[in-house]
Amino acid sequence: GAVVSQHPSWVICKSGTSVKIECRSLDFQATTMFWYRQFPKQSLMLMATSNEGSKATYEQGVEKDKFLINHASLTLSTLTVTSAHPEDSSFYICSASKAGVSGEQYFGPGTRLTVT
């Protein structure tokens, strides 16, 4: 168990448009979901933490108006990159944790975003 999916796996969009990435926990209820960003050959950088039904908590330096996060249910969180620019091109990865299990996070396969 503990499978997390992401859709799409890769997306190309034009500068100035918005793109939505979905993250789903397939076989468990995710009380908390996390969104990370990863540049080539670098570690994962936490962007925000979201709890079902609550506003997301953004890490310092992450623009909340640019990276809109919605956690509408216990199995779905979405990240919308608004007015995307080439510098937003990156690998976006979500993870999810189960209720009552401290620390364990299960990661999705990632979404490669390229902004042209």
- Per CB under 8 A, residues contacting other proteins are 4, 6, 32, 34, 41-44, 46, 49, 91, 93, 95, 97, 102-110, 112
What lies within 8 Å, CB to CB, of 82 at 6+ separation is 18, 65, 66, 67, 68
**Burial (CB count <10 Å: 0-12, 13-18, 19+), residue 68:** middle
Query: Closest distance between other proteins and the C-beta of residue 1, in Å?
Result: 12
**CB of 3 or CB of 16, closer to other proteins:** 3
**CB of 28 or CB of 34, closer to other proteins:** 34
**CB of 17 or CB of 99, closer to other proteins:** 99
Query: Closest distance between other proteins and the C-beta of residue 84, in Å?
Result: 20
Query: Closest distance between other proteins and the C-beta of residue 9, in Å?
Result: 9
What lies within 8 Å, CB to CB, of 78 at 6+ separation is 20, 21, 22, 23, 69, 70, 72
Query: Closest distance between other proteins and the C-beta of residue 12, in Å?
Result: 15
**CB of 23 or CB of 84, closer to other proteins:** 23
Please choose, from the candidates 40, 24, 47, the residue with its C-alpha nearest in 3D space to the C-alpha of residue 109.
24
Q: What's the first-to-final CA gap in the chain, in angstroms?
A: 37
